[in-house]
Structure 1
């Protein structure tokens, strides 16, 4: 009785911790998205410089990661050769820079709710790029699922009250580069047995990302910033915004490390609905019935995709636990041969 009670307490504790990780991640992701929108939107804080904002984030994250690895030695660095860094980390940093730049730029042109609807295309992009790079196998059922998600997003876009083609193009570009980055992490790092936690990931990737962002910043935003008079860097606004972005990276590690990437996908769907509701009720963005209908279709497609991944994961785990079929057959054959030899010996006796 005592054991069952202890087990029950352990399960309850595990459930509470899982929900805590999910809640913290949703809160921080929600906060960073709304905070970035507040800073970049011309109707709110009115600082429409997405490259500069992203560079502030990367500089802040690089500094904290460097302090954690080199000064306080909280985390041990990963042994990376110059060749691995240049051929693996640098391309991922470039893709990360493009993804962050375009996604932050989209907040200037699109509502928070509509951006979340467009982000539903992420599984479509990841699966398509995975097939292109031969990391995923083509399956008719999965492709139909991806098509259903795409149709739902298209319907939501058709019903958008404040549709902006340039904003949509920016967000779709961000989805494409982010999906490519995720696939390239599997190809360039995971396949080589290199696993980076959020601190070491920021330690290696953030400086590369910062360097790539500096090129368009010098061309696009630096001249505008020089002409902008009366601006004083607000350490409270940009400091807390950067701190939230850094904390979000840690929350991602906790959520995926303590639960699973699938849990993060499911939590992401909950976060999207919350952001849509917040965008409509607080920010007063227009959300049309056709928006909701289209996103509902996409949501069902994403939910089915997550369910399929869960079933595949369970099947894989069951296969690992079960003895191989060839071993079972060989064992049965050996037993029959032993029985046969015993009967033959009895006959000869």
Structure 2
């Protein structure tokens, strides 16, 4: 087999694993939080972060997936800690929203990330894009407004948490560019995850005890009632790390444009699979709104590429 064919198979395998991990985490989150009735999104996030901390250490220190980068100063540590707390808030918010919203609508709202990224980039760095780029954000937001009106399972609190999680995710990406902008302080995404994850776990432990004090009791009870729940939680946590690892590897082995297209398609695939699995009702208006958002995101990506 030629080297080009081997490379194509390798990249295709990475993309499949990336899709499977991302969509798997979403669906298993929904299964645990709604179907199993395990309504503890903060504890669930702590499990994800614990798995990311352990598996990042194994991957980088023992398996040498990427070279280990060390933190150079207390200032750099504080910057990473700030990013960790913002990232942690976005994951918690996303998990809370899945208690109340179907995965399909959750993905529709999540597709507005470019809008918040552009907004925070302008507010925090005064970075301006071409007017065409901003015009492409109109259907991104408009599509979600239309999808919200046509969503049979719309829940206001779930929607607010989902929007907050999406905004926090965008804020983290902009903040990361500002805080870790110097060459000495830059960390690749896997090393950043290695340092962010344990900080997130430390922050989440007291939050779990204060806000979800009966989690262990319910966890044991549901584990006895549902034989495979513990296995689902373990698989879910491993997939959370796999999603980060494969995202890094896909980014490394493909172009930015390819990643943009694949990311848009991933959201659409997640929507279709979630509707088939969970049988949540959808309307023509909702589908139309989500389609408008995805097309707007695709146009935004293309406009950024052309007018940068």
Q: TM-score, normalised by structure 1?
A: 0.79
Secondary structure of the 1:133 match is helix
In structure 2, the residue matched to 1:236 is 231
In structure 2, the residue matched to 1:143 is 134
Deviation at 1:66, TM superposition (A): 2.9
Deviation at 1:280, TM superposition (A): 2.1
1:111 to 83, 98, 102: 102
In structure 1, the residue matched to 2:281 is 286
- After superposition, what is the alpha-carbon deviation per residue over 1:253-296, rounded to whole angstroms, capped at 9, x for unaligned? 11101113432221122122112212222210111000011112
Largest Rg, 1 or 2: 1
- After superposition, what is the alpha-carbon deviation per residue over 1:189-223, rounded to whole angstroms, capped at 9, x for unaligned? 14444343444222211011112222322221124
Q: Is the 8 A contact 1:90 1:205 kept in 2?
A: yes
Structure 1 spans left out of the alignment, 5+ residues: 1-5, 314-349
Deviation at 1:130, TM superposition (A): 0.7
Deviates more, 1:137-146 or 1:91-100: 137-146
Higher relative contact order (CA 8 A, sep 6+): 2
1:154 aligns with 2:145: yes
Q: How does 1:307-322 map to 2 (within 5 A)?
A: 307-312=302-307
Deviation at 1:126, TM superposition (A): 0.6
In structure 1, the residue matched to 2:54 is 63
1:88 to 79, 98, 106: 79
Deviation at 1:68, TM superposition (A): 4.1
Residues 199 and 142 of structure 1, relative CA distance in 2, 3 Å threshold: closer
Secondary structure of the 1:287 match is coil
**In structure 1, C-alpha distance between the alignment counterparts of 2:65 and 2:215, rounded to whole Å:** 40
In structure 1, the residue matched to 2:12 is 19
Q: TM-score, normalised by structure 2?
A: 0.89
Over 6 Å off, 4+ runs:
none
Deviation at 1:12, TM superposition (A): 5.1
2:114 to 102, 111, 123: 123
Secondary structure of the 2:278 match is coil
**In structure 2, C-alpha distance between the alignment counterparts of 1:139 and 1:69, rounded to whole Å:** 40
Deviation at 1:111, TM superposition (A): 0.3
Secondary structure of the 1:48 match is coil
Deviates more, 1:166-175 or 1:128-137: 128-137
2:32 to 30, 34, 39: 39
- After superposition, what is the alpha-carbon deviation per residue over 1:130-150, rounded to whole angstroms, capped at 9, x for unaligned? 111116314322222112211
Residues 300 and 220 of structure 1, relative CA distance in 2, 3 Å threshold: same
Residues 71 and 142 of structure 1, relative CA distance in 2, 3 Å threshold: closer
1:53 aligns with 2:44: yes
Deviation at 1:166, TM superposition (A): 0.2
**In structure 2, C-alpha distance between the alignment counterparts of 1:66 and 1:135, rounded to whole Å:** 37
Q: Is the 8 A contact 1:117 1:153 kept in 2?
A: yes
Residues 309 and 11 of structure 1, relative CA distance in 2, 3 Å threshold: farther
In structure 1, the residue matched to 2:243 is 248
Residues 193 and 286 of structure 1, relative CA distance in 2, 3 Å threshold: farther
